[in-house]
A and B are shown apart, each in its own frame.
Chain A
Amino acid sequence: MSQVKSSGFTKQMARNMFYGGSVFFILVFVGLILDSERKIPFRSNAEAITPAVINGKKLWETRNCIGCHTLLGEGAYFAPELGNVYQRRGGDFIKAWIKAQPTHTPGRRQMPQFDFTETQLDDLVEFLRWTNGVNTEKWPPNIEG
C-alpha cells in the first residue's frame, strides 16, 4: 500500500490527480463539443450545403487536394490557401485554372490535371464558395490567405 512519506505527496495522490483531472476535463470537453455542435450549423450556414457542395467536398477529398493546399489553414503548405479562394479569384478563374493544369513551367510547382467534367468543376466551385462563407473569426488576415 501507499508509503506515506514525510514529503507528503504520494504516488496515490498523483494517481488520483491523473484520474480525477482526466475525467473532469473530458467531461468539460464533451460539454463544449456538444455546445459547438449546436452552434456550427449557424456559423457554417449549414442549410446552404446543397448536393453540389457535398459532391464538391467529395471531389476535394478524392483528389487529395489537401496534400498540397491548405483549407482554412489546414493541410499541406505547398500550394495556396483555398478557404477564401472564391473571394480572391472568383468561380470562373478557379475553373479555368484547374483546366489549364499543369502549366509545365520549368522549375515551377506543378498541379496535376484531373480531367473534371464541367459539372464537377461547378460542384468544386460550389464547395469552395460555401467554405468561403464559414465564420472563421475573420481568418485569414488578408485576401492572400
Chain B
Amino acid sequence: MKATTLKYASQSVSKYYFVAALALFTAQIVFGLALGLQYVMGDFLFPYIPFNQARMVHTNLLIVWLLFGFMGAAYFMVPEESETALYSPLLAMVLFWVFLAAGALTIVGYLVVPYAKLAELTGNDLLQTMGREFLEQPLPTKVGIVIVALGFLFNISMTVLKGRKTSISLVLLMGLWGLALMFLFSFVNPHNLVRDKMYWWFVVHLWVEGTWELILGSLLAFVLIKTTGVDREVIDKWLYVIIAMALITGILGTGHHFFFIGMPGYWLWVGSIFSAMEPIPFFMMTVFAFNMVQRRRRNHPNQAALLWAVGCSVVGFLGAGLWGFMHTLSAINYYTHGTQITAAHGHLAFYGAYVLVVIAIISYAMPQLRGREANSHRAQRVEMWSFWIMTIGMGVMVLALTGAGILQVWLQRLPTSGALSFMATQDQLTFFYWLRIAGGVGFLVGLLTYLSSFFVGEGSAEDEAAGVGMMPARA
C-alpha cells in the first residue's frame, strides 16, 4: 500500500482520541451484555454491580466515547479543511489526558462508591445536578466537561479562523458549539420535576436530534468528499439542506418528549407533527450517500471507510428515522412511552447515526495516521466483515427489543381492565430478552473483529492485486 504522510503533523493528536474512543466503546459493550443478562437473571452481579450502576456506566461510556470520537474527528478534519496546522497541538494533548482521567475517575466512582456517597463526596449539595438519566456525572465531572469543551472549541475555532473556511468545518463548528451550549442546561435542575424534565430534554434531545446531527452531517460529508471525489459545491448543498431539515423538524420535534410529563397539551400536536417529519433529514442522508457514491470521480483505496459511511446513512435512517417514527405520534406513544420500544429505537438510532459515523471517520483517518493512504486489502475485508457482524447483531437485538416492546404494550398497557403488572409482564418477555443477548454477543464479536482489523497486515501480492476497485500498490 502506498505510504503517505499527514497533510499536517498536528492532525496526529486525533489518533489518541480515536484509540481512547474505541477502548471505551469496548467497555461500553461489555457492560451492555451484563445489563442484558440482568434482564433474564435478575440477581446477576447483585449486590456488587446493581443494574442501575451498570446502566450508568453503559450510557455514560457511550456519551464519553462518542465525544472522544467527535473531538478526534475535529482534530483530524479541521486542519485539513482549513489548510493550516492545528492552533495548539499541546492544548489538544493536555485536554485529552484531562478528559480521559476525568472520564475514568467518574466510571470508577460509579462502580466502587455507593451513588449517594459519591454525591456527598463530590459536592452535589452545592448544586444538585446528579441522579438524572444520562446526566449522572458528579459536579466536578460536569464542570470538567465544560472546561475541556471550551478548550477544545477554542483550539478548533482558532484553527478555522486562521485558515480556509469551508462549509464542512463551519457546520462542524456550529454543531460542536451547540453541543457545548446545550450541555449547560445539565446544571439546571429545578425542584419542580416537570421543569426539571423540560430542561433535561434541552440537553438530551437537542443533542441527539439537534446539534449532533450537524456534527453527523459534517463528518459524513467529509468522508464522502474524500472517498468519492465529488465536487464540494454539490456536497455542501446537500449538507445544508440536510441540516436545515434536521433543525426545522428537530427543534420543535422536542415536543415528542413533552407529551406525558406534565407539559401543556398543545405539545401533543406540535411534537407529533414535527417529529413525524424528523425522518426526512435521515432519508435525505441515505439518498445523499448513495448519490455521491454513484457520482464518484475516483475509487479511493479505502473502500471500508465508504462502507461505514454508507452504512451509517442507511442504519441511521432505519434507527433514528423509521424506529423513531414508529412511536412518535402521541396517540401511539401514549401506549409505548417508556417501554422496550423506546429501548429498541434508542439502540438502533445511536448505533446507526453516531456509532457508525464515528467509525467511518476513524476508518478513513486511522490508516493515514498510521502512515498509509488505506489499509491492506486483507485488513479492509476484516473491517467490512465486522460492519456486517455488528450490524446484524444490532439488528437481532433491536428486533428482539421491538418484539418485547409490542408484547409489553399488549399485556401491560392496552388492557383497560385486568392488565398485567410490570413484573408479571417482564416474565412473559424472557424469550425476547434471551434473543437480545444473542444479538448483543454477536455485536461484541463484530466489535472484536473490527478491533482485530487494526492488526491485520498486508496479504500476499496476488491478494493485493486482486482487490476490486483498489489502486495497485506503487511504492
Contacts and interface: CB of A to CB of B under 8 A. Distances in A.
A139 B133 contact: no
Question: Which of B41, B42, B414 has the most chain A CB atoms inside 10 A of its CB?
Answer: B42
Contacts of B474: none
A131 B196 CA distance: 12
B193 interface: yes
Interface string A24-48: 0110110011011101110110100
A11 B42 contact: no
Q: Which 8 A-B pairs have the closest CB atoms?
A: A67-B52, A61-B131, A73-B338, A109-B42, A139-B260, A14-B240, A18-B244, A80-B422
Interface string B108-142: 00000001100110001000101111001000000
A144 B411 CA distance: 10
B247 A36 contact: no
Nearest to A112: B50
B298 to A, nearest CB: 22
Question: Which of B52, B191, B233, B236 has the most chain A CB atoms inside 10 A of its CB?
Answer: B52
Contacts of B468: none
A76 interface: yes
A37 B111 CA distance: 37
B340 interface: yes
30 contacts: A10-B237, A11-B233, A14-B238, A18-B244, A22-B248, A32-B266, A32-B270, A36-B258, A37-B195, A39-B264, A57-B196, A62-B130, A65-B52, A65-B131, A66-B52, A66-B132, A67-B56, A72-B262, A75-B133, A76-B133, A77-B340, A104-B43, A107-B43, A108-B42, A111-B50, A139-B334, A140-B413, A141-B334, A144-B425, A145-B422
A81 interface: yes
Interface string A131-145: 100111101111111
A90 interface: no
Contact of B413 (A57, A63, A110, A142): A142
A100 interface: no
A44 B55 contact: no
Given A77-B340, A109-B42, A137 B259 contact: yes
A78 interface: yes
B433 to A, nearest CB: 11
Contacts of B84: none
A63 B115 contact: yes
Contacts of B55: 67-68, 76, 78
Question: Which of B50, B198, B255 has the most chain A CB atoms inside 10 A of its CB?
Answer: B50
A25 B252 CA distance: 7
Given A36-B267, A104-B43, 18 more contacts: A3-B233, A17-B240, A17-B244, A21-B247, A25-B252, A29-B254, A49-B192, A57-B196, A62-B130, A73-B337, A77-B340, A78-B55, A109-B423, A110-B46, A110-B47, A112-B47, A144-B420, A144-B421
A38 B133 CA distance: 25
Nearest to B274: A25
A29 B252 contact: yes
A103 to B, nearest CB: 9
Interface residues of A, number: 75
B413 A141 contact: yes
Interface of B: 38-39, 41-43, 46-47, 50-53, 55-56, 115-116, 119-120, 124, 128, 130-133, 136, 167, 191-198, 233, 236-241, 243-244, 247-248, 251-252, 254-255, 257-268, 270, 334-335, 337-340, 342-343, 412-417, 419-423, 425-426
B241 A107 contact: no
Nearest to B238: A14
Interface in A71-94: 71-81
Contact of A44 (B124, B128, B194): B194
B116 A114 contact: yes
Contacts of A119: none
Question: Which of A15, A79, A143 has the most chain B CB atoms inside 10 A of its CB?
Answer: A15
A65 B191 CA distance: 16
A110 B53 CA distance: 13
Contacts of B417: 142
Contacts of A21: 244, 247-248
B365 to A, nearest CB: 26
Nearest to A61: B131
A65 B255 CA distance: 25
Contacts of A75: 133, 338
Nearest to A144: B419
Nearest to A28: B252
Contact of B265 (A18, A58, A68, A137): A137
Question: Which of A57, A104, A112, A144 has the most chain B CB atoms inside 10 A of its CB?
Answer: A144
Contacts of A106: 43
A87 B408 CA distance: 21
A109 B38 contact: yes
Contact of B131 (A62, A104, A130): A62
B42 A80 contact: no
B130 A43 contact: no
A57 B132 CA distance: 11
Contacts of A141: 334-335, 413-414, 416
A81 B422 contact: yes
Nearest to B206: A29
Contacts of B50: 68, 110-112
Nearest to B411: A144
A128 to B, nearest CB: 10
B254 A67 contact: no
Contact of A14 (B46, B131, B132, B244): B244
